[in-house]
Amino acid sequence: MKNNSTGVVENPWRRLREFTDARIGLGRAGVSLPTKELLEFQLSHARARDAVHFPLDCDGLITAIEDSEVINSRVSDIHRVHSRASDRMEYLQRPDLGRRLNEHSRSLLQHDISSPESSVSSEHDLGIVIVDGLSSLAVQQNIVPFLETLLPQLNEYSLAPITMVEQGRVAVGDEVGELLNARCVIVLIGERPGLSSPDSLGLYLTYQPHVGLTDAARNCISNIRPAGLSYAEAARRTQYLLDESRQLKLSGVNLKDRTQDDVIATVSGNKNFLIS
């Protein structure tokens, strides 16, 4: 171990980071974190905090969606609605309020259905619900490129207007899907940010959404982001789940995602370097 002039002892096993993203081999000043490592941690935490607290730039995201030819050619309209949680502080402490639309939003979607020229008067195969969740960063960065990957694979599905929910939890998609007459919804939501993954997007699929369903009725695809599950792989799994769901007429615990069955076989064997 190198001991430099400031007293920082480096760890030669830092090279084992080729095997893991864990913060191993950080070195030490006495037994404490070296300044560089301390501040890198603080930066990661600051980014995760900002992801939770920065409001979603809905106008910017709507513009970006409308500017995308791929998305725009499939989507008739975008609705912007709000949950019953009035602000972030209430949202964090009252998950129940984040699961329901406020009255104004409900009547907005209901009005849209009943209007004669509305595209929502009939049933749709799929509703796409964009929700800020716990990471506005994840939504801001991943929605457009992911939808551009996903939508061309879903040409057989008729789409309801896109709905964008502020201060929402996953279950708010049930209420939106019910109001829009969607046979199935996918909720795209900012996941609880990890220290090294402040930008993870989650996808939740629910067949025949209605208020009152629990997580047992949903299927989840997690960690969608450039450094995590790629857009292409996430879109492949989404299409698989949608097709299965439509055929079996259900979602949740009885709909198994068989696209991952090969995972255990692909990890690096059973012998590790400490033993061999």
Partner 1 sequence: MKYSYTAGQQTWHFENLAEVMAKATPARSGDRLAGVIARSAEERVIAQMVLADVPLKQFLNEALVPYEDDEVTRLIIDEHDAQSFSAISHLTVGDFRNWLLSDMATPEVLEGVRAGITPEMAAAVSKIMRNQDLILVAKKCYVKTAFRNTIGLPGHLSTRLQPNHPTDDVNGIAASILDGLLYGNGDAVIGINPATDNVAQAIKLMKLMDEVICKYEIPTQSCVLTHVTNTIECIEAGAPVDLVFQSIGGTEATNSSFGFNIATLAEAQDAALSLKRGTVGNNVMYFETGQGSSLSANAHHGLDQQTCEVRAYAVARKFNPLLINTVVGFIGPEYLFDGKEIIRAGLEDHFCAKLLGLPMGCDVCYTNHAEADQNDMDNLLTLLGVAGCSFVMGIPGSDDIMLNYQTTSFHDALYARRVLGSQPAPEFAQWLARMQIMGDAFVLNDALPEAFARSLNALPPVAGQH
Q: Is 192 in the site for partner 1 (CB under 8 A)?
A: yes
* Closer CB to partner 1, 74 or 237, in the complex: 237
User: What span, in angstroms and rounded, lies between the C-alpha atoms of 261 and 259?
Assistant: 6
* Closer CB to partner 1, 39 or 232, in the complex: 39
Binds partner 1 by CB under 8 A, chosen from 44, 153, 208, 230: 44
Q: Which residues, in sequence order, are bridge partners of residue 181?
A: none
CB atoms within 10 A of CB 74: 19
Q: Is 118 in the site for partner 1 (CB under 8 A)?
A: no
Beta strand 162-166 with 78-82: parallel, antiparallel or unpaired? parallel
Binders of partner 1 among residues 9 to 28 (CB under 8 A) are: 9, 11-13, 15-26, 28
Q: Is 273 in the site for partner 1 (CB under 8 A)?
A: yes
Binds partner 1 by CB under 8 A, chosen from 76, 77, 110, 195: 195
Window of 77-85, 89-97, 138-146, 231-239 that interacts with partner 1 by CB under 8 A: 89-97
Closest by CA to 20, choosing from 221, 273, 192, is 273
Q: Which residues, in sequence order, are bridge partners of residue 128?
A: 186
Q: Is the dihedral of CA 110, 114, 116, 118 positive or negative?
A: positive
Q: Is 139 in the site for partner 1 (CB under 8 A)?
A: no
Nearest approach in angstroms of CB 192 to partner 1 is 6
Closest by CA to 146, choosing from 237, 225, 257, is 225
Q: Is 216 in the site for partner 1 (CB under 8 A)?
A: no
Q: Is 71 in the site for partner 1 (CB under 8 A)?
A: no
> What residues contact 69, with CB distance under 8 A and at least 6 apart?
none
Q: Is 52 in the site for partner 1 (CB under 8 A)?
A: yes
Binds partner 1 by CB under 8 A, chosen from 193, 217, 251, 255: 193
Estimate to the nearest angstrom the gap between the alpha carbon of 174 and the chain centroid: 16
Q: How buried is residue 200: exposed, middle or buried, by Cβ count under 10 Å (0-12/13-18/19+)?
A: buried
Estimate to the nearest angstrom the gap between the alpha carbon of 206 and the chain centroid: 15
User: What span, in angstroms and rounded, lies between the C-alpha atoms of 66 and 88?
Assistant: 27
The mark string for 142-181 relative to partner 1 (x by CB under 8 A, - otherwise) is: ----------------------------------------
* Closer CB to partner 1, 112 or 191, in the complex: 191
The DSSP result for 37-87, as a single string, is: HHHHHHHHHHHHHHHHHSPP-HHHHHHHHHH-HHHHTT---EEEEEBS--S
Q: Is 55 in the site for partner 1 (CB under 8 A)?
A: no
Give the interface with partner 1 as residue ranges (CB under 8 A): 1, 3, 9, 11-13, 15-26, 28, 30-33, 37, 41-42, 44-45, 48-49, 51-52, 92-96, 134, 192-198, 263-264, 267-276
